[in-house]
Amino acid sequence: MATQLNRVTLYGNLVRDPEIKYTQGGIAVCNFVLANNRKYKEVEKVSFIKITCWGKIGELCNEYLAKGSSCIVDGRLEQETWEDDQGKRREKTGIVAENVQFVNKPKDQVGTQEKSYQPAGDEEQPPF
């Protein structure tokens, strides 16, 4: 049987700061919630999607993302199912990120000015 396609790409903003934990084996697991806005017949709708990042991607997300940061997440849809304390079946769906692109500046550089090239006084100006 052929493998089915399971690919999701989302663009949005973090609802709160990412949370990172480590497995007993020392592998990073970073979770955050992405708000994705869309407009439908003059009404704006927002979806809140749980994102899970493993390993180095998780560590980088924890380091460079913060509440309000924009990012593009590429990954796969994953559904969890369990029984709660009352015996009711529960499920939730989220995204396991395989690639995250940071759209904003890193969180420790927010509010700082970007560095630009300034030639020294004796250097010749570039021709462009």
CATH number of the domain where residue 31 is located: 2.40.50.140
Instruction: Count the Cβ atoms, other than its own, within 10 Å of residue 19.
Output: 11
In-domain check, residue 127: no
**How much is the pTM?**
0.75
What is the tally of structural domains in the chain? 1
Residuewise pLDDT in 10s, the chain (128 residues): 567 889 999 999 999 999 999 999 999 999 999 999 988 888 999 999 999 999 999 999 999 999 999 999 999 999 989 999 999 999 989 999 999 999 976 555 555 444 333 344 444 444 44
Question: What one-character DSSP code corresponds to residue 108?
Answer: G
In-domain check, residue 70: yes
Instruction: Count the Cβ atoms, other than its own, within 10 Å of residue 50.
Output: 16
In-domain check, residue 119: no
Domain residues for the domain of 84 are: 8-105
In-domain check, residue 59: yes
Half-sphere exposure of 26 (CA within 13 A, CB side): 0
In-domain check, residue 88: yes
